[in-house]
Amino acid sequence: MTLSMVIAILASLNGLGLASTFIARVSLGTPWQSLAHGFFIFCLLMIGVLTPLSFVWGVAYGMACGTTLAVMAVTAVLDFERHRERPFADTSPMPSSSR
């Protein structure tokens, strides 16, 4: 396998991983949500296995896969819906007797 083929495979798999992240976020609340999340988990596992293996071809390839893995992990847990009401947030003003 030539190095240019390895670069093409790694780039396409990293692109697929990032695309699955976007698809999983866009699909929230739709009938496709469970399918999109399953695809995201598959891609997350694939990138997770690929990251240490890609260091065989060079540090730059490992870092690219590691960056993709980090972006996918952070995006999976990041809350983009800051405008929604939080059930446990205390929004009532502080009573004057406790001041």
Does the pLDDT value for residue 4 go beyond 70? yes
* Mean pLDDT of all residues in 12-21: 95
Looking at every residue in the chain, the average pLDDT score rounds to 86
Does the pLDDT value for residue 99 go beyond 80? no
Digit-coded pLDDT (tens) for 29-61: 899 999 999 999 999 999 999 999 999 988 999
CB atoms within 10 A of CB 65: 23
Q: How far apart are CA 98 and CA 85, in angstroms?
A: 26
Say what the pLDDT of residue 76 is.
Answer: 87
Q: How far apart are CA 82 and CA 84, in angstroms?
A: 6
Does the pLDDT value for residue 92 go beyond 70? no
